[in-house]
Structure 1
């Protein structure tokens, strides 16, 4: 039986393992084919692909694209976040680059607002949060949570 995992995240978004570690752990778990689908970034593909080739694991480049939509609910408009999984996307496609750029900007603005609010209660800075990100990673609440763990304000990132 072939075991396939089509939805994984590395430290390039909100996962705990680097792309290489993710591939290694998948191989150890008996996975035969793995898709790396980090949130709004393709920056882990090369590392994951190289490790997958080395270990003989099938690799599918993917991405989890964040989209926002306004919907009417109970007589009012609410904004919802929808996550779309895409497999084998062209990372150089102009429209995808625009969407990812907008999404990354929105993620950063939201994260900055969270850090600013937290900073009124504790000595947290934007730079401290950025120190918890891998190169090419998308910013999100996990990086803020990891910073709070380091500061001993919370016990884990959950």
Structure 2
């Protein structure tokens, strides 16, 4: 679906463009329907909507929620992201997001505390300065960039690999709500639940298929299609699961600006014949 991007980030979370800058960039690319889906916050929505009044652009309310999925067979818990779209009554979701913000702020402090014996310095003040001293906006990307600026690593990915990814000494798990509870709250808010980037959770093919199955059984509405750069076999696997569980599809670039420069705004995968876009449930007819 050209002209639609339902997964983007601004500097309200871990993107580099402001909501207004994001809207302007989207307009220049011919995007007419945009969802701002920052991590665990909808604080940028009004700014995006205000900017969009200058253009013929529809802003879809959105947020990317950090949830947890546990597979009983392995007893291991995985962090899984659910994109919520087009909330009609956001009050239930906003209550959840307030808790998410508390968790995010606490995790930022914990990670910085764990880094002190590793690097010999407390970088917390520098980290929160990156988010206008609002701790609940901090993501690991902000911490990684601070480590680069301080000279402890040469690039953000090295910060993850050395200190803050799962299994490293300064890793702190994000203890979000369960997958099922997240979907329930989205539906209580009159929105649609989308499984974000299902092939990017470091899961085996078997576990990816099982995740999509559990997502569908929990009432999930759509699966985000993998980007075109992923192997054809990966896309085919996801397509088969979408058919098997009667799910709709979503398309989004997961744009982060300069924090992930290889991801381009509006660069979305092709929707195959027979697949039903979740956007058909809420985009105004004038934009379809």
TM-score range, shorter chain: 0.7 to 0.9
- State which drifts further: 135-144 or 124-133: 135-144
RMSD: 2.2
Residue by residue over 1:6-57, the C-alpha shift from the partner in whole angstroms, topping out at 9 and shown as x without a partner, is: 1001111111211111111111122121111111111101111111111332
Q: Equivalent residue for 2:51?
A: 51
**Shift in CA distance, 78/22, structure 1 to aligned 2, threshold 3 Å:** same
Does 2:105 match 1:115? no
Q: Equivalent residue for 2:87?
A: 89
Q: Equivalent residue for 1:14?
A: 14
- State which drifts further: 96-105 or 13-22: 96-105
Q: Structure 2: any 5+ residue segments left out of the alignment?
A: 158-288
In structure 2, distance between residues paired with 1:80 and 1:35: 25
Number of residue pairs the alignment of both structures matches? 155
**Shift in CA distance, 153/67, structure 1 to aligned 2, threshold 3 Å:** same
Structure 1: 4+ residue segments shifted above 6 A:
none
In structure 2, distance between residues paired with 1:118 and 1:18: 29
In structure 2, distance between residues paired with 1:135 and 1:59: 27
Q: Equivalent residue for 1:98?
A: 95
Q: Structure 1: any 5+ residue segments left out of the alignment?
A: none
- Of 130, 133, 138, the residue aligned with 2:131 is 133
- State which drifts further: 113-122 or 8-17: 113-122
The Cα shift of 1:135 comes to 6.9
In structure 1, distance between residues paired with 2:44 and 2:133: 9
The Cα shift of 1:92 comes to 4.7
In structure 2, distance between residues paired with 1:154 and 1:117: 16
